[in-house]
Chains A and B, each alone.
Chain A
Amino acid sequence: MFLEYTEDEQAIYDAFAAFFEKECPPEVVRSSEPLGFSQPLWGQLCETGAVGMAMPVAWGGGGASLTELGIVVSLVGAHLAPVPLIEHAVASRLIAELRQIQTGQTSGYTSSQEAFYTPAPIQSNFSQPTLALLESLIDGSKIATLALRPAKPEAPDNSVPDNPAAKADASKTRADSSTSASPAIAKLLPSGAVAEVFLTLSESDNSVDQLIATTSSPSFASLPNTADLPIANRAIFSAGGATGGTDRASDEAFGAMGKLEMSAADNSQPGKSYVLASGEHVLSCYAKALSEWKALTAIALCGLGRRALEIGVDYALERKQFDRPIGSFQAVQHGLADAAVELEAAWYLCQRALWMLDTDQPQAAVHASMSFLFASEAAQKATAAVLHYHGGYGYATEYDIGLYYRRAKGWSLIYDDPTNEYQRLANTLL
């Protein structure tokens, strides 16, 4: 066992701690509200190479492990960085993995020692469109995300209630659609307000083994929400073009995704959906992506919680009542100590889940889910306690703890009511 950062991991930590300290002070978080996305920060993050660091080396990615990516993600959490790093990385990896299977490539996922700053020469027999798409995902010029649950067809009249851009898309879909079926909507899509490409499992003919990729212009308007997350409802277009995931057909899909330019809500450009892959392997690949999302979100929540605790300790040392720092009151101390314990446990649970995913352990999915549930609670408890120990000031928007408190809830709940996840885990474990 080696339960601390290796030298390489520490180097990643140091570099990105400095990066976020400089580039993502609380003002950046605040000024990105309510959308929850900072284009300049994303651009800067792309320049560091972090965005494609966990993509396979053979494809031009950094070949980093999830553990290594998790270091950056934990800092995204600590600084509440308004960037869609988790969704983008997970969706990109899913695309890469499916493409790898389709083309019979050998695994590009080796947790390599190579620095992810220096892109390796690309060695593959991919077609140009595929390469173009992968390149834009790796350099972050195109943002991808994935839906956390299958999209459901909507009744036409209330199809897309809240999002004008999606509504426009949806009406076009109906017009374009060769069939009379209602369009499906990816609801509350995480990073859906900013992603150009999103992946959903289709739910048609009682089968959920198609992965649909949709490209359309994001609205850059989120549904107003508790945590100022860039969530949006997005329409899925009737999947034209490719079916069956043949190499040629998928090339077409990739080509389309590769070509679409990122532009602000441009209603003149309709979106398109493609069957990116189908077959049994799609479900297992999607499940793995979902596990990655859970474990990475969990480590982000740990980063968030730990920073919130630091904020709480600083405040408790500074704020005086009854002529003493409130941090000398045992009731306050014990509340903070409990938060520290939960976060400590959460941190190592998450690290173990990431390690299990990196090393393909059979229990990885269970541990990803466990760490997500545990870290969600730990972060929520910690932020609630720290807000409380701010007294009235914690409730004022001026203080940063409120930013943490709202996101601890938002990052957790965007997936599902946790009681459902407990029941799913129970179905696996009992």
Chain B
Amino acid sequence: MNFALTPLEENFRAELRQFCAEHVTPEVREQTRSGTLHNWELHRKIAERGWLWGAILSELGGGGRSPMEMAVFTEELQLACAPIDGIGNIVLVASVILELGNSFLKSEVVPKLLNGESLVSLGYSEPEAGSDVAACRTKAERDGEQWIINGQKMWTTMAHEADFVILLTRTDPELPKHRGLTMFIVPLDAPGVEIQPVHTIGTERTNATFYDNVRITDNWRLGEVNQGWQVMLACLKYERGFAGGQYPSAPLIEAAKQYAQSHHNSEGTAIIENPVVRERLVRAMIDLEACRVLAYRTAYIAAAGEQFGVEGSMTKLFSSERYQQHCNWFLDMLGPEGLLQWGTAGAHEDGEIEENWRHAPVTTIYGGTSEIQRNNIAEHRLGLPRSR
């Protein structure tokens, strides 16, 4: 066992810290309050440094940063509260195209994604197909050299900023559920695509996307016909530690500490002197260290070229569930004033804790709900019978 980072990894961390200090400004953080967890200016700066290319495996023709470097990359960006959901999508889709896509997609889509020009959103979930994503109903029918797509996707986050969507469709309703699926990349400016906002408790905006006789050429197909599930599995492989995030509690703890150190209760005692508050802060800090070792472990397994699905599940489950707990603790600590939102006079720590609290519930839902993660752990780590 050895937890030391290599000099290369240490240098990369230092470089990232400096980058974030310079570019992840309060304005960038402020802008995410529009509801879109993406900032083009920051995104292009990241791309300029070659970090998007770097995130792609070298065997796929990318810069081939190691999983450990990627772990450091996502860690530092998250600790700085940089909006990186878009980057996760890009790395995933570009990797899958490079592994399974045709030359058209490789030349038409991948450079745009990795040069920081375009975003891509993920079109898996549907109104009737969430956890059971293979129950997908959006239809793609062949028409000569073209495909005609009809249906609806739900939760197509970032579609309103993106040029593309990776779209899971049903191409053969006769075949068993997992066998009749085909994946496409669909340009979001294609006629027949409609994007409608879906607003959430956590300020962030996501979308419902509608596909009404959308015609695309066969070039846009990703992977073989009726092999969409294989492409899905490849997508999971390339999440590479972006999904969900491992450090949502970090900025929350900082804000809570800040508040506790600078405020007093009605008797004039500093909040930070309250032993319950002290214990909770320490507990949250320990949990954060636990998230860190789980994230490193996941990256380590990815580095060894092994399947890290179970470890990824463990990390995601633990960090999101604890984050919710932390949000509750620290919002309570603020008392009734904790209810005040950012921008309101009297809101503490610029409403950051309140904002986190509203964001918290989604973290145990998207990217696979906690129940789905537990199913995965029970089946693939503990060897218990499949229960769904």
A residues near B (Cβ < 8 Å) are 1-6, 9, 67, 309, 313, 316-317, 325, 327-330, 333-334, 336-338, 340-342, 344-346, 348-349, 351-352, 354-356, 359, 367, 370, 373-374, 419, 422-423, 425-426, 429-430
Taking a contact as CB atoms under 8 Å apart, the answer to whether B384 and A370 are in contact is no
**A345-B293, A351-B1 given; 17 more Cβ-contact pairs under 8 Å:** A2-B1, A3-B297, A325-B385, A329-B387, A333-B387, A334-B378, A337-B381, A341-B314, A345-B290, A348-B293, A348-B296, A352-B293, A422-B279, A423-B275, A426-B278, A426-B279, A430-B260
**Which residues on the B side are within 8 Å of A4 (C-beta)?**
1, 300
Taking a contact as CB atoms under 8 Å apart, the answer to whether B289 and A370 are in contact is yes
What are 8 of the A-B contact pairs (CB < 8 Å)? A330-B387, A333-B379, A337-B374, A340-B314, A344-B311, A349-B293, A426-B275, A426-B281
Q: Using CB atoms, name the residue of chain B closest to A424.
A: B282
Asked if B283 CB lies within 8 Å of chain A CBs, one says: yes
**Which residues on the A side are within 8 Å of B381 (C-beta)?**
337, 340
**Which residues on the A side are within 8 Å of B378 (C-beta)?**
333-334, 336-337
> Bound complex: CA of A305 vs CA of B223, how far in Å?
44
**Which residues on the B side are within 8 Å of A370 (C-beta)?**
285-286, 289
Evaluate whether A367 and B289 lie within 8 angstroms (CB atoms) in the complex, with A2-B2, A340-B377, A340-B382 already known. yes
> Bound complex: CA of A423 vs CA of B275, how far in Å?
7
Q: Using CB atoms, name the residue of chain B closest to A352.
A: B3
Contact with A along B335-360 (1 / 0, CB 8 A): 00000000000000000000000000
CB distance from B126 to the nearest CB of A (A): 24
**Which residues on the A side are within 8 Å of B261 (C-beta)?**
430
> Bound complex: CA of A9 vs CA of B272, how far in Å?
43
Contact with A along B256-294 (1 / 0, CB 8 A): 010011000000000010010011011101100111011
Asked if B26 CB lies within 8 Å of chain A CBs, one says: no
CB distance from A29 to the nearest CB of B (A): 24
Taking a contact as CB atoms under 8 Å apart, the answer to whether A430 and B300 are in contact is no
Taking a contact as CB atoms under 8 Å apart, the answer to whether A67 and B283 are in contact is no
> Bound complex: CA of A351 vs CA of B293, how far in Å?
10
> Bound complex: CA of A67 vs CA of B297, how far in Å?
17
CB distance from B178 to the nearest CB of A (A): 21
| Contact residues of B: prevailing secondary structure | helix
CB distance from A207 to the nearest CB of B (A): 28
Evaluate whether A328 and B289 lie within 8 angstroms (CB atoms) in the complex, with A1-B5, A1-B300, A341-B314 already known. no
**Which residues on the B side are within 8 Å of A316 (C-beta)?**
384
**Which residues on the B side are within 8 Å of A309 (C-beta)?**
382
B residues near A (Cβ < 8 Å) are 1-5, 68, 257, 260-261, 272, 275, 278-279, 281-283, 285-286, 289-291, 293-294, 296-297, 300, 311, 314, 317-318, 371, 373-375, 377-379, 381-385, 387
Taking a contact as CB atoms under 8 Å apart, the answer to whether A341 and B1 are in contact is no
CB distance from A427 to the nearest CB of B (A): 8
**Which residues on the B side are within 8 Å of A429 (C-beta)?**
281-282, 285
Q: Which of B281, B371, B387 has its CB near the most chain A CB atoms (within 10 A)? A: B387
Q: Which of B282, B290, B297, B375 has its CB near the most chain A CB atoms (within 10 A)? A: B282
Taking a contact as CB atoms under 8 Å apart, the answer to whether A373 and B286 are in contact is yes
Evaluate whether A430 and B293 lie within 8 angstroms (CB atoms) in the complex, with A67-B1, A341-B377 already known. no
Q: Using CB atoms, name the residue of chain B closest to A346.
A: B290
> Bound complex: CA of A352 vs CA of B1, how far in Å?
8
**Which residues on the A side are within 8 Å of B317 (C-beta)?**
337, 341
Taking a contact as CB atoms under 8 Å apart, the answer to whether B296 and A1 are in contact is yes
Q: Using CB atoms, name the residue of chain B closest to A345.
A: B290
CB distance from B86 to the nearest CB of A (A): 28
CB distance from A305 to the nearest CB of B (A): 14
**Which residues on the A side are within 8 Å of B377 (C-beta)?**
337, 340-341
Q: Which of B300, B371, B374 has its CB near the most chain A CB atoms (within 10 A)? A: B374
Evaluate whether A430 and B382 lie within 8 angstroms (CB atoms) in the complex, with A1-B68, A333-B374, A349-B290 already known. no
**Which residues on the B side are within 8 Å of A346 (C-beta)?**
290
Q: Using CB atoms, name the residue of chain B closest to A328.
A: B385
> Bound complex: CA of A5 vs CA of B257, how far in Å?
37
> Bound complex: CA of A342 vs CA of B318, how far in Å?
8
**Which residues on the B side are within 8 Å of A337 (C-beta)?**
317, 373-375, 377-378, 381-382
* 8 Å CB contact of A338 from B286, B374, B375, B385: B374
Q: Which of A329, A338, A355 has its CB near the most chain B CB atoms (within 10 A)? A: A338
> Bound complex: CA of A359 vs CA of B291, how far in Å?
22
> Bound complex: CA of A243 vs CA of B275, how far in Å?
40
Q: Using CB atoms, name the residue of chain B closest to A370.
A: B286
**Which residues on the A side are within 8 Å of B314 (C-beta)?**
340-341, 344-345
> Bound complex: CA of A309 vs CA of B311, how far in Å?
17
Evaluate whether A328 and B318 lie within 8 angstroms (CB atoms) in the complex, with A423-B279, A430-B257 already known. no
Q: Using CB atoms, name the residue of chain A closest to B370.
A: A334
> Bound complex: CA of A430 vs CA of B281, how far in Å?
8
Q: Using CB atoms, name the residue of chain B closest to A71.
A: B1
Evaluate whether A3 and B281 lie within 8 angstroms (CB atoms) in the complex, with A328-B384, A340-B381, A345-B290 already known. no
